Each structure stands twice: as structure tokens, then as C-alpha cells.
Amino acid sequence: MLRQTEPTTSTLQLVANDMTGIMEKLDTRELDLEDGEYDITDSNAAAERLPLTAIYHTVGFKEPTAKVFLSSPITAKILEVERFTSAQDRFNVSNQRSVSKSMPAVFKIELKHGEFTWLVKRKEKHFMDLHRDLRTYKTFMRLPLPSRSHTVKRQTVTRSEVRQMPNLPRGGGDELGREEQVSSRRKQLEDYLNNLLKMPMYRNYHATMEFIDVSQLSFIHDLGPKGLEGMVQKRSGGHRIPGMNCCGRSKMCYHWSKRWLVVKDSFLLYMKPDSGAISFVMLVDKEFNIKMDSKDTETKHGVRIDSLSRSLVLKCSSYRHARWWGQAIEGFVQKHGSAFLTDHRFGSFARQEVNIPAKWYVNGKTYMEDVADALEEAKEEIFITDWWLSPEIFLKRPVVEGNRWRLDNVLRRKAQQGVRIFVMLYKEVELALGINSGYSKRTLLHLHPNIKVMRHPDHVSSAVYLWAHHEKIIVIDQSVAFVGGIDLAYGRWDDREHRLTDVGSVTLSHMEQAGSASANMASPSNGGGAAPQTNGKGIFTVTDSLDQPKLKGQGRMKRTRFSIRRHLQKHGLAHADSDSDLENDERSGSVRSLQTGVGELFGNTRFWHGKDYCNFVHKDWIQLDKPFDDFIDRHTTPRMPWHDIASVVHGKAARDVARHFIQRWNFTKLVKPKYRSMSYPCLLPKSHTTAGEQRYQVPNCVPAKVQILRSASDWSAGIKYHEESIHNAYVHVIENSQHFVYIENQFFISCADNRHVFNKIGDAIAERIIKAYREGKRYRVYVVTPLLPGFEGDINTGGGSAIQAVMHFNYRTMNRGDHAIISQLRREMGDQWINYISIAGLRTHADLEGKLVTELIYVHSKMLIADDNTVIIGSANINDRSMLGKRDSEVAVIVEDSEMVTAVMDGQQYQAGKYALQLRLECFKTILGGHTDPSIDVSDPVSDHFYKEVWMATCARNATIYQRVFRCLPSSDVRNILELEGYLAKQGLDKEDPARAHEELKKIRGFLVQFPLQFLCEQNLLPPIGSKEAMVPMEVWT
């Protein structure tokens, strides 16, 4: 970079020429290089790489400990010499000045180091300045100064190196004459530079590094190719922080600071030279552009860089310097970062990536197990952001390895190994929510200094009272990313059994114990050298491994503290299926046997400890700082099962999820003063160019086309225009679906009236069904949503204002009022709508200490499947909060299959996607009872037989039985609050005739029940005037 201002008048040039003369007299013979003073490195040696973690250890530029270079040599080559007679000439402006005042020549130098190549431009004067600098440094190194740091510096430099220094041959000053003079000078300077770069003492000197534009961030492999770097002046301000813009654009508000700018393929940053701290990161996005006119930059020799999040103004040393920088930054980003410069499909910040290994999860059990294993594999960074995080949850259950798989223990273990862990929590309005993020933050911060936790937003200072960070993301090393609806929090862990009760403690069944004791077995502390065998029953055993103690005694009934099968899976020796952990035929005699992957578990097992055993409609969480104290009596109250969906993606798609997290982290660091300290570092996104180097992959993935979607805006991510790509994708997929759409969602609030509700998902469903009706085509829509909203309240007395407010908007979307989907369909097709759309909920029952109990299953999923080939999984509910982009922040993935399998659609053979089909089959089997009753055929999602005789029949039958046995709510027999009492006064079979009730319940299949569309239909469900719910704006509920 051209640091010093250029001589523009002949006087200055005379001075410069004089200086060159003086400089030359200082170059004496003794500085000639002799053989043996070179840094001899084998250029063919395996290239070592600087790890990404180097970004967390940057030091001041003049510190001798700064780690900059790789072990390979650096070579320089002068490509060309630019010469212009005057500044105006270069840009073809009419020339009034005399031509004699020619401008100094600029040498364009190409440098190579390992896998990196970059260009710098330097004038002869810069060579002279560097040489003078190095001479001073050399003299300084010879003096035995008394300071300790100087002694260290001197000791690290070999004596011979201090003696030697390359000679800078005498040149004719900046004004080079004839061509041959130029080419010989070029060769001289090239040799000088190459010699200099071979000597570690001079190469590692900060002035040399600045001369060749390198810093501690130049050669980090995962940050991609090396772009432009150099010292600049940057102007303060220009951020897009909602509610915090500088009044007026007067010069008074600004101050200039000296910073080292680094340009990479998808971002740029600047560092403070004195401390090496990365103080600002700007991600390249669709608004990224560079302006060099003084009217745009409002400064002389300025360069203005705009993006969605900031308008950054830099000041260069001259006109040519500013031009070269502006063009170089633009050129580099266009070449390497073009993927980020445009808007992508659905208006997303991320493009669709192909051949991405992806996997889905139905329910928290398999999800949390894979999360635990992936966290265990982390080597550099872990990013976590959740709406709610409970540090004490167990990721693998039942708990048979002590606290090893408790979330806080896993994170502490990784932090102790040097992994950097960054957690962002939603900072709730404490009056409205009891999730106690303050406790979660304190608990995590106390674990280890490598764990950093931020909370956002500050509701008072940011004026964001109503909206939440709702996304649930876990990213490991920026190359594995979990995205979905499952927070790492209480109540979320569940499996396909959806148990209501949890009283006993864990014991393995007799069969499993006999099997485990019959083989000589290794203890779980060591998996080294174990080889799998099968003992005929399909149970894996382990042959003698090293000299571990063995369990003896054929068939002796002991409680086994751990499972062989889990142990083998942990070391990759036994196969565990991705969707359902190892089904086997040997069943124990329990009523509902339990497939856990730790063998058959016997008796009533303890899965949910303390606060994890919950029923939040019955009672909201309290005292979260006492994680292992029950707050619900598990002997009288059933838990509320949790049905949820998540996914994992890898490679470039995971890089995009990480990029979103990084954008939010850096934005939060900027807006909350307490996070500005250096202990909360800025995060840097890894380059897409290295995304293929996958060190760890979650097992049993399917390659697919994946695109990351999000809801983000100024308050949540600091971007100028909001993004609602999830909403756009939902509408697009519904409009373009051919056969069916299957939706599971925690909310169903849609159908725009453009007054209270604005998202268009419900309208897209209605329009697509009307299109099918008019064309006479078969088309189905399945919607599964919770029977009641997840707010504390007693439904026996009407549920309370919060539950009713959400019910109002749910019903307004389904069947009440002119905008509702069913109302729109009725106007077009009368009662035929029933052949096109089915809305259902989930419910289950159990025997709790001799008493029959029932409870709804809380559907928390946010998923859409279309045509068995397209899936959207994420954190976004079907409501305005999640979908509009300006409200809650959300992340989702859209997965489109690239691997096809033969399936059935409407009685015909059909090419279905592997990912989407397997996910739909798992969901359908779980909720229709196909896992326990193999006669239930769910292969064809649209045929009349399936829709009417399996889906609708199961819905109706289950709902009728539950109502007869339990008189449960919500029910279509209760149309207003007055009818509630009478309905509840009549006893169900569970009280009148328990034996008959048991018989009836045997006819239940799966969990699916019809949604009670007429429940409280004569009641106004909006919050009554005067209630606290009526005080908050309507948008809270939509």
C-alpha cells in the first residue's frame, strides 16, 4: 500500500532524490549476503497450516510472539512497472500542467507463500524507507539493552543474521529513464526483496510484514484466499443500529483511527495494530458495494464500503492509493465471494448448496444423542443459540454413565480441551416468561473461561419489548449444523413412545442382563482394541480388551450400570439406525416396551429428572436454579409429552448457518457495551472454499440439495432490510406442490386480512386446494397442531386469557370467520372440503399408579413435507411472529432430495426422495400407530383408501374413544363456557367402569385425534377488556 503521501511538486522530488543519495552512502560492503545466511526450508515439505483458533490469540503487530508465516518460503516477483507522467494523465483528463513533473514509478509485486498468492504495489521510496527501517532495527539488535523483552528478542535472533543484511543497490531515484534502466532496476529490487524474505530476523520484523501486506490473519487456511491488507484510517460510525443513528452528518461526530484492514473472500475486518484485536467484521452481502467519489465518501482520498449492516469510510494516502484499494477490494470479492453478493431464491442470504449430507430427527431422543456425539467431536468452536437453554439436561437417556452426557459437563469437558464455546440466549421479559436465562448464563459462564455467553435483546434500551430470538442452532467447527425446533431445555427430550409417566428407576431386562453377563466384557472406560462378536441372539458382545476387569457369573441377575450396545455404538462398532434405534424382536413383558438403544429397559424407568418432568399447561416452570427438584407430583400428574422435529446439515450449508450466528454475535457485541471488551471476541466465518474438508460427519446422512432460510431484521441481526425467506419458501412450496402437503406446527395462525394477520401460508393452502378442485385432481393437506396452546391455564374453567387468545387466531385460520381456510373452501365447494384437508392433534393415555390418565401431546414441530421430495424444518412457527422477518428471529432449512427411491403416490409408482419419504413414513407411523401395528399401511399419502380409511378413520375413532373414556377437553361438544360445567359433570368410563375403559383404550391406534373445530365456537375468545392480556398489542398473539 502506498503509505506515505506522494511527491507532487519538483521540490519534494528533489528532496526525495537527495534522500536516496544519502541512503546509498549508508549501504556499505559489509552488508553483502554471504552463503549460509539463508532460511533454508524445503519447499516440497508437507504444508503445515495455521489453525482457525489462531484468530483468538492475535497480539500487537510489534510483538515478537506474533505468529504470521507458514514454514514454507516466501518468493517475490515484480510483474510490471507502472509509470505515469501525471495523475491526470492516467485518467485521461485534459492536462494543464507541464509534463516534465513526472510521477514516480510503481512496482507491482506478486508474492507467493504456501497456497497463498497476492499482489502489492510499491514505489522505490517505499523500498528505501524499509531499508532504512531495517538498518535501524539491525543496529538496535546489536545493542545489549537492559530490558527483558529486548534480551528475548536478541536471543531469538542468530548472531550471523544480525551481521548480514541485503544490500539495496543504488538506483536513479524515483525518476527512471530508459526501458533497460527500468528492467535492471526491477531485477535489483526483486533480488533485494527475495534475499530479505529468506532471513527470518528481517522477515518477521513488523515493517517488513507491513511492506508485503501480511498479518497474523493472512495465512489461516480456513479463512480462504489472501486478499488485500494494509494500514488505513477508518472513520467511526456508519452502523445500522436501530434507534441509535448519529444526528446530522457533520464532521463533528466523526473521529479517525488507524487500523489494519484485512479483506477475505466473504468478509473484511480491521484490527488494532497495537493490540492485534479484531475490532470490526463486515460480512459481504447483497448490498455490498464500493464508492470512491468524494461526494460519497465526504473525505479526500476516501473509499466507502457499504453493506446491509454498515457504511464504512476509509481514508487512503493518495488518489492512486484509494483507486487501487477500491478496485482491488471489489475485484477480489467479485472473484471469490460472488455467492454472497446476490439475493438468492426466496430472498435468502444463502444460496442452495448441492450434495450436502443431511439427516432429520423426529423427537428429542435421537436428536440429543447425535448432538452429544457431535459436540464430543468439536476441535475448534461450538456455537449454540436457543430460545431457552437448561444447562443440566441429559443428552443421552436413560442415564447410565453418571453425569458424562449432561449438557454442562459436555461443554465444560470441551472447553477444558481448548474448544471455544459461544452461546447466545434470548433475554426474556422476566414478567412475561419464566425461562430464567440469567441463571442459564451464570451457570455456563462459571464452567470455564472458554465459554462465552451473551443475552439479547435488552428490552428497555433497544425498545424491543415484544419480539424474541426464537432460533435453535448448534454449530460445530462451522462444518456440522443442527437446525430445528428443539431447544436444549427441559421437557424437550422425548421419543416415539411419548410416555405420560416416569416414576421408577433404571434396570435392564433379564434377557439383556443374561446376555451381558454371559460374555467376557470390557468396562466402558476403555474401547481400545475391542472387537465385535455376535452370540447368536443378535446381541453384540465384546471380546477381551486389554486387561479390564471382567464380569463373571452366567445369568446372575445384577443391575448392569451400562450397556454393551451403547458402548459399542460409541466406538462405532455396532450399527445404530438413524431413525429408530435398533428394533429387536425379543420383547420384555412390559405393556409398552421401550426401544432405547441401551437394550430393553425393564419396569418403569426414570427418564425425566427434576424440572425435566413437566406439564406446562398444568403448571409453568418455577425455581429453575434448583434443577433436580420436582415441581410437579409425578405420582398424580402425568407429564406432557413433546413431539418435535429437527435436522442436521454439513459442509457449505453448515457454513451458512454459522455465518448467520456470526452475524448475530458480532452485532450483539456491537450494540451491548458490556460485550465490547476483548474477552468477547469477534467471530470470523470460515471460507466456503474449505467446506469440503469434513472432519466429522453425523452417521446415516443422505446427500441432498439444501438451502438455509431465516427471519432476520434490524433489531435481531443489524441488517438494513428484513429477510423473510422462510415465509417465501413455505408459500412457494405449497403453491408448487403436486400431490400433498403435510404440516406439523406448534401454531396455525395465518390467512391474511392485512389488519391483524399478514402471512400468506393459509391463503396459499386454500388457493392450492381450490385449484385441485377446479381441475378435478386429487390433492391432500394434513395439518397436525397442538390441541391446546402451550400456556399455563386450567382448560376446565376455560383455560385463561392467553390460551384463549391463541385459540382465537388458530380457529380464525382453520374455520371461523370469512378469512379461514375452511370458510374459503366452503364458498367454492360446499362440504367437499373434507376430502382435501384434515386438521388433527395428538393425545395419549397411561395408567398412573392404578389410575387411568390422558394428556395431549404437545406438537412443537415446525415442519412441512411436500410430495415426498421437499422438506422444510426449522424454528419458525406458522404465525406472523415467526414468518414476517421483522419480528422474531428464526432459522430453517429447505431440503430437496437428489437421491430418489421408488414409492407409491395415488396408487401409481412414484419417484420419491429418500430424505422426505423416510421422514414422512416415520411421522405417519408414529402418529397412526404403524410401529406397533404393522397392518397399518402408510406408504401412499394421497389414495382414498389411506386418506379415508386410515387417516380420517383413526382420527375419528381415537377422538371418540378418548371422549367416552375421559370426557377430555377440548371437545366439539362444548360450544361455550356455560356448557363446560355440564360436560364435565358427566363422568367418563375411567370413573364409572374402569375395566370397560381399559377394553375401549385397547382400540386406540397411535396418537392422532380429530381437531375439535367447534370447541367454544360461540364464545368470544379474545382477551376481555381489563385483563393483562388485553393490555399487550395484538401482534403478541399472532
DSSP-assigned states of every residue in 705-745: EEEEEEEE-HHHH--SS-EEHHHHHHHHHHHH-SSEEEEEE
Distance CA 665, CA 669 (A): 6
9 grid coordinates: 511538486
- Residue tagged active-site, from 672, 860, 914, 925: 860
Are the C-beta atoms of residues 710 and 891 closer than 8 Å to each other? yes
CA distance linking residue 852 with residue 846, whole number of Å: 6
Alpha carbon of residue 370 to chain centroid: 16
Query: Is 495 assigned a catalytic role?
Result: no
Q: What is the CA radius of gyration of the chain?
A: 34
Among the listed residues 999, 935, 941, 990, the one whose alpha carbon sits nearest the alpha carbon of residue 967: 990
638 phi and psi, to 5 degrees? -70, 155
Closest Cα to residue 906, out of 754, 1035, 738? 738
Of 606, 550, 542, the C-alpha closest to 570 is 542
Residues constituting the chain:
1038
Give yes or no for a contact between 937 and 950, defined as CB atoms under 8 angstroms apart.
Answer: yes
| Other C-beta atoms lying within 10 Å of the C-beta of residue 436 | 19
**Of 234, 609, 652, 862, which residue is the catalytic one?**
862
Q: Which of these is catalytic: 222, 306, 477, 495?
A: 477
Active site residue 867: yes
How many angstroms separate the CA atoms of 190 and 169, rounded? 11
DSSP string, 313-368: EEE-SSHHHHHHHHHHHHHHHHHH-GGGSS--GGG-SS--EEEEEEEEEESHHHHH
Which of 246, 249, 313, 318 shows the shortest CA–CA distance to 280?
A: 313
Cell numbers 429408530 correspond to 580
- Cα–chain center distance at 550: 44
Say how many C-beta atoms besides its own lie within 10 A of residue 51's C-beta. Answer: 13
Nearest CA to 436 out of 423, 427, 424 is that of 427
Catalytic residue among 198, 315, 452, 470: 470
Residue located via cell numbers 553483502: 32
472 has catalytic annotation: yes
Catalytic residue among 226, 441, 472, 650: 472
Cβ proximity of 832 and 772 under 8 Å: no
What nine digits make up the cell of 24? 546509498
- DSSP 8-state secondary structure symbol assigned to residue 401: S
860 is an active site residue = yes
Annotated catalytic residue 544 = no
Which residues are designated catalytic? 470, 472, 477, 860, 862, 867
